Structure 1
Amino acid sequence: MATNVKRKKKAEVMEDDGSMTLTGHLKELRNRLIICAVVFVVSVVITLMYADRLIDILTAMGQGYYTFVSIAPQEKLMQYFRVSLLAAFVITVPVALYQIYAFAKPGLKKSETFFLKLVILLGLALFCVGVLFAYKLMMPFMLRFLSTGIEGADYIQTTTSIESYVNLCLTMFVIFGCVFEMPLVTIILSKMGIIYPELLKKARGVAIVCIFFIAAVVTPPDIVSQCMVALPMVLLYFISIFLSGVFYKPKSDDEAEDDDTEDDE
C-alpha cells in the first residue's frame, strides 16, 4: 500500500521521460518560497535583538554634527522595527537568489549556468560595494556639509528626528546600492545584444544629463547630494562602456539569417 502511494506521488512529480511535471515544479517552488520565508522570520527575530546596535552604526555617521531626538512617542520603537526588517531582508536576499539559481539550474546549459552564477555573485558584490561607499565616504561628507557647510546663524542648533535621519540613511544606501548595479545591467544587456559600446559612446552626453536629472529627483533638494550621487554614476557609466566592449558579441551572419527566417515565418 505504501509503495503504491509513493509511486503515485512520484508519477505526479515526474514524467515518463524523467522530466519534472508542472505539479512538481510548483511543489519545488513552494518549498523554496517556504525556505525564504522561514529565513526572513528568523532573521527578523535575531536582528530585532540587535536593533539598538544597528541604530548606533547608523547614528555614528552623524554624531558630532546632529543631536538626535524622538518627536513622536512611538518614533524610536518604529525605527528599531524598520532597521530590523531591512536587515532581515538583506540577510534573506542571498538565500533567495540561491533558491532561484537552484530552481533554474536543471533547465540551463553549462554556459548559461556560469553566466547566472556571475550575475548573482557580481550583483551582490556591487550592491555591497555601493552601500559601503555610501556609508564610508558619501554619507559622512554629506552630513558634515549639510550641518556645517553654510557659515552664519551659529545660534541655530542642528537637531534631527531619528525617523528623518534613518530615512535619509536607508534611502541613500538603497540608491547607491542600485547605482553600483549599472555595470551588471550593462553586462546583461550587452550579452543579449541589446546595447553595444558604440551606442554607449554616442549616447554619453545625453546619459550624463539624464544621470544628473535622476540624481536631482532621488536625492534631497540640495546640490551637494545631487553631485554625490551623479558623479559616481557618471564614472560607472564609463566603466560600463568598457565592460560592454568585453561582453558584447555581435551576431554572426548565420544567426542574422536565422532571425530573418523566423521573422518571415
Structure 2
Amino acid sequence: MSTKIKHKKAAEVMTDDGSMSLTGHLRELRNRVLVCAVVFVVATVVFLTISDRLVDLLTAMGLKANYTFVFIAPQEKLIQYFRLSLIAAVVVTVPVALYQIYAFARPGLKKNERFFFGLVLVFGLVLFCIGVLFAYSISLPFMLNFLGSLEGTDYITANISIESYLNFCLLVFIIFGVVFEMPLVTIILARMGIASPELMKKGRGIAIVLIFFIAAVITPPDIFSQTMVAIPMCLLYFLSTFLSRIFYKPRFGLGDEDEDEEEEDED
C-alpha cells in the first residue's frame, strides 16, 4: 500500500518526459518558503533575547557624541526592542531566501546563466553588507559627532528620542547599503550591453553632478552628510567603470550565438 502511495506521489511530481510537473514546482516552492519562514521565526526569538545588546550596539555611537537618549511615549522603548529584533531577523533570513531563490531557479538555467545569477546574488549581498559596515564604522560616527557639535543656543541640549535616533541610523544603513550596489547594477547593465566602458567614461562628469544631487536628496540637510555619501558614490562609480570593461557584452554580438550553440552541442 505504501509503495503505491509513493508511486502516486512521484507521478504527481514528475511528468512523462522526466521534468517536474506544476504540482512538483508548487510543492518545492512551498517547502522553500517554509524554510525561510522557520529561519525568520527562530531568528526573531533569538534576537528578542539579546535585543538590549542590539540597542546598546547602536546607541554606543550616540553616547560617544554626548547624546542623551529618552523615550517620549510609554510603549516607545519596548516597540524599538521588538523592531530591532525583527530587522535583525530579516537580515539573517535574506541570505537564506536568496539561496532558496537560486536553488529553485537553478534547474531551469543554463551553465553560464547559473554562474551569472549566483554571482549577482552573492556579490549583491556582499556589497550591501560592506555598505552597512562602512556606514557603521566610518560615516555614521562622523555624522553624529558633526550634528551633535553644532554651535547654537546654549539651552538647546541633545536629548534624543530613541525612536528618532534608531530611525536615523537605519536610514543611513539602508542608504549606504543601496549606494554600494552601484557596481552590481553596472555589471548587470554591462552584461545586457547597455553600460559600455565608453559610455561610462563619457558620462563621468554628468554622473558626478548627479551623485552630489542624489546625495543632497537622500541625506539629512547638511553638507557634511551629503559629502560623506557623495565621496563613496564617486569612488564606486570609478570601480563600476572598471568592472564594465570586464563584463561588457554587446547586445547583438556573435558571442551569444556561439555560446548557445556550444551549450546545445554539450546537451
Same fold (TM over 0.5): yes
Deviation for aligned residue 1:210 = 2.2
Offset at residue 84 of structure 1 (A): 0.5
Q: Distance in 2 between matches of 1:47 and 1:186?
A: 35
Residue 265 of structure 2: aligned partner? none
Contact 2:192 2:250 in 1 (8 A): no
| Partner residue in 2 for 1:262 | none
State the one-letter code of the partner of 1:57: L
Match of 2:232 in 1: 232
Greater shift in the superposed pair: 41-50 or 247-256: 247-256
AA paired with 1:235? L
Q: Match for residue 67 of structure 1?
A: 68
- Asked if 1:40 is matched to 2:24, the reply is no
Question: What residue number does 2:262 align with?
Answer: none
Aligned to 1:241: 241
SS in structure 2 at match of 1:230: helix
Instruction: Find the aligned partners of 1:251 and 1:51 in 2 and give their Cα distance.
Output: 50
TM-fit CA distance, 1:212? 2.1
The CA deviation at 1:5 is: 2.2
Q: Please list every run of 5 or more consecutive structure 1 residues that lacks an aligned counterpart in the other structure.
A: 259-265
For residues 187-198 of structure 1, what are the structure 2 equivalents within 5 Å? 187-198=187-198
Deviation at 1:254, TM superposition (A): 4.0
Q: In 2, distance between residues paired with 1:155 and 1:226? A: 28
Shift of 1:43: 0.6
Q: 1:27 to 1:88 in 2, by over 3 A?
A: same
Query: CA contact under 8 A between 2:192 and 2:251: conserved in structure 1?
Result: no
Residue of structure 2 equivalent to 1:25:
25
Task: After TM superposition, give the deviation of residue 217 of structure 1 in Å.
Answer: 2.1
Q: Counterpart of 2:165 in structure 1: which amino acid? A: Y
Moved more, 74-83 or 214-223: 214-223
Alignment partners' CA distance in 1, 2:232 and 2:251: 32
What do residues 119-172 of structure 1 show as CA deviations (whole Å, max 9, x unaligned)?
222111111110110000000000000011x33434421111000000000110
Instruction: Using the TM superposition, name which of 199-208 and 6-15 deviates more.
Output: 199-208
CA distance 1:232–1:32, change in 2 (3 Å): same
Structure 1: how far apart are the matches of 2:207 and 2:35? 41
Taking the aligned partners of 1:170 and 1:233, their CA distance within structure 2 comes to: 19
| 1:194 Cα deviation from its structure 2 partner | 2.1
| Matching residue of 1:137 | 138
**Divergent runs of 4+, >6 A:** 255-258
Whole-angstrom CA distance in 2 between matches of 1:117 and 1:45: 30
Once the 2 structures are TM-superposed, how far is the Cα of residue 204 of structure 1 from its aligned partner?
2.2
Change (3 A) 1:210 1:16: same
Structure 2 residues not aligned, in runs of 5+: 259-267
Partner residue, 2:88: 87
2:219–2:226 Cα contact (<8 Å) kept: yes
Say if 2:126 is the partner of 1:125: yes
The yes-or-no answer on 1:12 pairing with 2:30 is no
2: distance between equivalents of 1:154 and 1:240?
46
Q: Which residue of the partner structure matches residue 219 of structure 1? A: 219
Shift of the alpha carbon at 1:228?
A: 1.4
Structure 1 position 25, deviation (Å): 0.8
Secondary structure of residue in 2 paired with 1:68: strand
CA RMSD across the alignment? 1.8
Shift of 1:52: 0.4
Distance 1:167 1:82 in 2: 11
Aligned residue pair count: 257
Following the alignment from structure 2 to structure 1, what is the Cα–Cα distance between the partners of residues 205 and 163? Answer: 38
Separation of aligned partners in 1, 2:97 and 2:50? 23
- Taking a change above 3 Å as real, the CA distance of residues 81 and 143 of structure 1, as seen in their structure-2 partners, is same
Give deviations 1:90-142, integer Å, cap 9, x for gaps: 00001001111111111122222222222222111111110110000000000
Shift in Å at residue 2 of structure 1? 2.6
| C-alpha displacement of 1:238 | 1.3
3-state SS, counterpart of residue 91 of structure 1: helix
Cα 1:253–1:247 change in 2 (3 A) is: closer
Q: TM-score, normalised by structure 1?
A: 0.91
Distance 1:256 1:89, change over 3 A: closer
**Structure 1 position 102 matched with structure 2 position 97:** no
Letter in 2 for 1:201: K
Amino acid corresponding to residue 221 of structure 1 in structure 2:
P
